[in-house]
Amino acid sequence: MSVTLEMRRGGFLTAVARAREVGLFAVLAALVLATTMIDPRFLGAQGIKDILEDVTVTALLCIGETIVLLMRQVDLSVSSVLGITAYATGTIFAVHPGAPIALVMLVGAAIGAALGALNAALVAFGGVPSLVATLGTLYVFRGAEFAWVKGGQINATSLPKDFLALATSGIGPVPYVALIVLALIALAGYGLRHYPGGREYYAVGSNEEAARLAGIDVPRRLTLGFLSCGAFAGLAGVLFTARFGTVDATAGTGMELHVIAACVVGGVAITGGVGSVEGAAIGALLLAVISNALVSLRVPVFWEQTIEGALLLVAISLDLVISRRTLALMRSDRAHG
Amino acid sequence: MADALAPLRHWEVAIWILVVAALTFGNHLSPAFLTADNLGNLAANLSEIALMALTSTMVIIAGEIDLSIASALGMCSCLLGLLWSYGVPMPLCVLAAVAAGALAGAGNGLLVTWLGLPSLAVTIGTLALDRGLAFALLGDSAVADFPTFYTNLGFGAVPGTTIPNPMVLFAVLAVLTIVVLHATPFGRALYAIGANPVAARFSGLPVARYKFLLFVLSGAMSGLAAIVYTFRFSSARGDNALGFELPVIAAVLLGGVSIFGGKGSVIGVIAAIFLVGVLQNALALVDVSNDILTVVTGLALIASVLGPNLAARAESRLHRYRRAAGAGEEQPQRENGR
């Protein structure tokens, strides 16, 4: 009896979570359809390529940010980490034009992980709240980059053609960078869902004290979470350079709140324990589609932010309604079941 | 209780000492630093951040956060400019700007208190929304033909001194905030709410109403800061005060206010604002670029929490060591962090 109840409840919760992603996808599909009817080029090869190019960097940042948000923490420093590795990528190629691309990506991720380790140390061992710690490192990293780069700039001409081709060419309309990010989303999503370590992120964010009592090593989870977030941001910096070609010390400035917004629109709860990497990526995709659709529909581009903000508010309000209803259903389940 | 507040008091004293040290340091760097003209200029540049930090202090003490303040400033500034360009009398434009800010704040407050949504998420949403509305109001254009009387109010100084006018406004509001926060039931209630909202509600405090009021005040302050900004630069544009939210939050936290609410004071925050301002100005005078300052601000922000944490940990370890040597009792650990 109680077993079936547990199963029903679990099944119901999963169904709700899935409904959230399905709902988001429906909005996305409706938007794409409506825009395509008005401007058929929107869904043409070039249109798809534009959207995917726009979304890759944000989606990559969303993977790491989701892991951190799941633990009921936040990482505001991702944009500054991206800035550093974006410029580092250009510098590496300027010094060693023949450097293997995969190696540069690894180096970018490693630099990001090292910077993430600093956040991890502050949060997990220094007891500094993540909002304060990463707001601090947002400034420290960016300031350090400015001091390093000064007025310098990386130009596309000093980057290898193969490297730039990662963003400009691909399979059909899908650029290689988008494929890389897609693979990482699938990998991270699977890991979070099916590995004990992945589930621990949810446990820590749902109830840290309970997680600790259940034997989860919370500081270790926090450390790994901020490390991976840094690594993803580091890799995002490498792809940023591939995508834009021109990079200066301001690369990525102000992206942190946009990334969090994308995650939240995608169903990741800022209060921890709820959400998925796939959802966050769809959130990022939705925002990118909106921004491209506005161009296609010849709507002045500044409405984009208004819509992004309104969408975020609608998304979190809906989440609340759904979770309250779920709770009520679970209660009545317990009472009548 | 007195013991629990000890590290906080230390930080407030420490940060004022740092301000004095920074002033001395500035004087060393350049003879042009400790001049009335330069200090006036320094203060004028802090106007909007200082104003918004006052209400942000209250919001954070009550355990919430408002990231939409700078976007609300942009929106109010654009509204002010738009109404003026339509020929609306200036006093009405000014009133409309404050009202619009209060309205935006009320929206945040409703979502937070009525729906029970986390303020971090809500105000990231309205950060985008308000900024979008700012651009929707004025597009890419700017309104700049404000009457000299008003721009002089924003740009000018108190007659016979170099104290910028906005700083007078700030001084008045700062005193008001100190009184409200530290000497009225409303202010004391904010600490109780921030420290433990559930306990506060069970003690009969109108938690939701007070939080709503805080967001309205925060929005209205953005409106006021918008007026100052617009007149100071004689320009209403969509990107006014873009990205000012994080410096404001950083100043509040650097001033010793706990991000978890319930702790902090206006005095510490004012010190933090001036510390950053003084360093910025002093370094600029000797042509040291802003980068170093950015790093210093970030480090100071981290140190403001990490320092007391490590001190508390060392203290409790020492206690435990002594107890172990003596009675061997367990000493409860106290930390400032998570």
The label of the residue with tokens 């208190």 reads B113
Fold that domain A2-336 belongs to in CATH: ABC transporter involved in vitamin B12 uptake, BtuC (1.10.3470)
Instruction: Give the mean model confidence (pLDDT) for residues A148-177.
Output: 91
Please, which residues bridge with residue A175 across strands?
A: A170
Nearest to A236 by CA among A100, A120, A133, A88: A88
pTM for this prediction: 0.87
Longest CA pairwise span in chain A (Å):
71
Q: How many domains, in total, are found in chain B?
A: 1
Separation between Cα atoms, residue A229 and residue A68, nearest integer Å: 7
- Tokens at residue A226, please? 């901020």
Please list every residue in chain A whose beta carbon sits closer than 8 Å to the beta carbon of residue B122: 313, 316
Mean pLDDT calculated for residue range B186-190: 96
Provide the pLDDT confidence category of residue A10 given band limits of 50, 70 and 90.
low
Answer yes or no: do A304 and B126 touch at CB < 8 A.
no
Position A32 pLDDT exceeds 70: yes
Residues B215-261: pLDDT tens digits? Answer: 999 999 999 999 999 999 999 999 999 888 888 998 999 998 999 89
Whether residue B211 contacts residue B110, with contact meaning beta carbons closer than 8 Å, is answered with no
Q: Please check the confidence at residue A15 and state whether its pLDDT lies above 70.
A: no
pLDDT band at B312 (very low <50, low <70, confident <90, very high): confident
- Structural contact between residues B265 and B12, judged by C-beta atoms closer than 8 angstroms: yes
Is it the case that residue A107 has pLDDT exceeding 90?
yes
Concatenating the DSSP letter of every residue in A213-246 gives HTT--HHHHHHHHHHHHHHHHHHHHHHHHHHHS-
pLDDT at A164 over 50: yes
Looking at chain B, the whole-number percentage of residues with pLDDT higher than 90 is: 63
What is the pLDDT at residue B338?
36
Residue A3 has pLDDT above 60, yes or no: no
User: pLDDT digit string (tens) for A227-282?
Assistant: 999 999 999 999 999 999 999 999 999 899 899 999 999 999 999 999 999 999 99
Per DSSP, what are the bridge partners of residue A171? A174
Return the higher-pLDDT residue of B13 and B126. Answer: B126
* Interface touch A139/B298, C-beta < 8 Å: yes
Q: Which of A256, A265, A302 to mutate to test the interface with B (most CBs of B within 10 A)?
A: A302
Q: Which residue of A has its CA nearest to B238?
A: A302
Is the pLDDT reported for residue B3 higher than 60?
no
Residue extents of the structural domains in chain A: 2-336
Minimum mean pLDDT among A31-40, A205-214, B45-54, B62-71: which range? A31-40
pLDDT given for residue A14 in this prediction: 63
Asked if A285 contacts A311 with a C-beta cutoff of 8 angstroms, the reply is no
Q: A129 and B338 in contact by Cβ < 8 A?
A: yes
Per-residue model confidence as pLDDT tens digits over B65-82: 999 999 999 999 999 999
- State the first-to-last Cα distance of chain A, in angstroms, to the nearest integer: 9
- Residue B292: predicted pLDDT: 78
CA dihedral B238, A138, A114, A217 (to 10 degrees): -110
Q: How distant is the Cα of A319 from the closest Cα of chain B, in angstroms?
A: 10
Q: Once rounded to an integer, what is the mean pLDDT over residues B302-329?
A: 78
Which chain B residue is nearest to residue A148, measuring alpha carbons? B291
The mean predicted confidence, pLDDT, of chain B is: 89
- Domain assignment of residue B108, yes or no: yes
The answer, yes or no, to whether residue B7 has pLDDT greater than 90, is no
Q: Considering only residues A199 and B4, tell me which one the structure prediction assigns the higher pLDDT.
A: A199
Residue B186 CA: distances (Å) to CA of A5, B101, B221, B253, B257: 47, 22, 18, 22, 18
Q: Give residue-wise pLDDT tens across range B136-166.
A: 999 889 999 999 999 999 889 999 888 999 9
Mean pLDDT of A285-307: 88
- Cβ neighbours, 10 Å, residue B333: 12
Cβ separation A302–B136 shorter than 8 A: yes
Cβ contact B292–A313 (<8 Å): no
* Residue from A278, A297, A252 nearest A138 by CA: A252
Q: pLDDT at residue A141 above 90?
A: yes
What local confidence, expressed as pLDDT, does residue A5 receive? 40
Ranges B12-21, B69-78, B178-187, B319-328: which has the least confidence: B319-328
Domain hosting residue B264, numbered range: 41-269
* Other CB atoms within 10 Å distance of the CB of residue B302: 24
DSSP A160-190: -HHHHHHHH-EETTEEHHHHHHHHHHHHHHH
Q: How do the residues of chain A divide into helix, strand and coil, expressed in percent and rounded to 5?
A: 80, 0, 20
> Hunting for tokens 């959400």 — which residue is that?
A275
Average pLDDT, chain A: 90
| Cα B165 off chain centre by | 19
Distance from CA of A28 to the nearest CA of B (A): 19
Query: Is the Cβ pair A122, B120 closer than 8 Å?
Result: no
Say what the ipTM of the complex is: 0.83
Give the gap in angstroms from C-alpha B276 to the nearest C-alpha of chain A: 13
| For range B97-105, the mean pLDDT | 98
Least confident of A37-46, A324-333, B118-127: A324-333
Q: What are A74-93's pLDDT values in tens digits?
A: 999 999 999 999 999 999 99
d(CA A171, CA B159): 70
pLDDT at B104 over 60: yes
> Is the predicted pLDDT of residue B202 greater than 60, yes or no?
yes
Which of the residues B114, B288, B291 would you substitute to probe the A interface, choosing the one with the greatest number of A C-beta atoms within 10 Å?
Answer: B291
- DSSP, collapsed to helix, strand or coil, labels residue B34 as coil
Q: CA-based diameter of chain B, in Å?
A: 79
Residue B319 has pLDDT above 80, yes or no: yes
Give the nearest chain B residue to A268 (CA atoms).
B121
Nearest CB among A136, A142, A147 relative to B301 is that of A136
Residue B2 has a pLDDT of: 47
* Strand, helix or coil for residue A247: strand
